[in-house]
C-alpha cells in the first residue's frame, strides 16, 4: 500500500520544465496562429481569440505530450 511520493522539489522542477517548454514553443505556435489567420477560408465558428491567445492555447494543448511516457 505504498504510494509514490512526489517531493516538492520534483514538482517545482517539473513546473520549471513546463514553463521552459512553453517559452520555447510559443513562438512557433504564434507563427502558426498568424498563418492560420492570414489563410483565406471560412471563419471559425464561435468567439475568436486574439492571435496571442490562440497561440497560447495551441501550445498548452500540445505540451502535455512532452511529459507522457
Question: Is pTM, for the whole model, over 0.75?
Answer: no
DSSP 40: -
pLDDT tens digit sequence for 11-44: 888 889 889 999 999 999 999 999 998 988 776 6
pLDDT tens digit sequence for 39-69: 887 766 777 889 999 999 999 999 888 777 6
Within its chain, how far is the Cα of 43 from the centroid? 23
Amino acid at each position: 500500500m505504498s504510494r509514490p511520493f512526489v517531493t516538492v522539489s520534483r514538482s517545482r522542477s517539473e513546473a520549471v520544465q513546463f514553463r521552459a517548454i512553453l517559452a520555447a514553443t510559443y513562438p512557433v505556435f504564434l507563427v502558426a496562429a498568424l498563418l492560420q489567420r492570414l489563410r483565406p477560408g471560412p471563419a471559425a465558428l464561435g468567439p475568436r481569440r486574439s492571435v496571442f491567445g490562440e497561440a497560447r492555447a495551441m501550445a498548452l494543448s500540445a505540451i502535455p505530450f512532452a511529459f507522457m511516457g
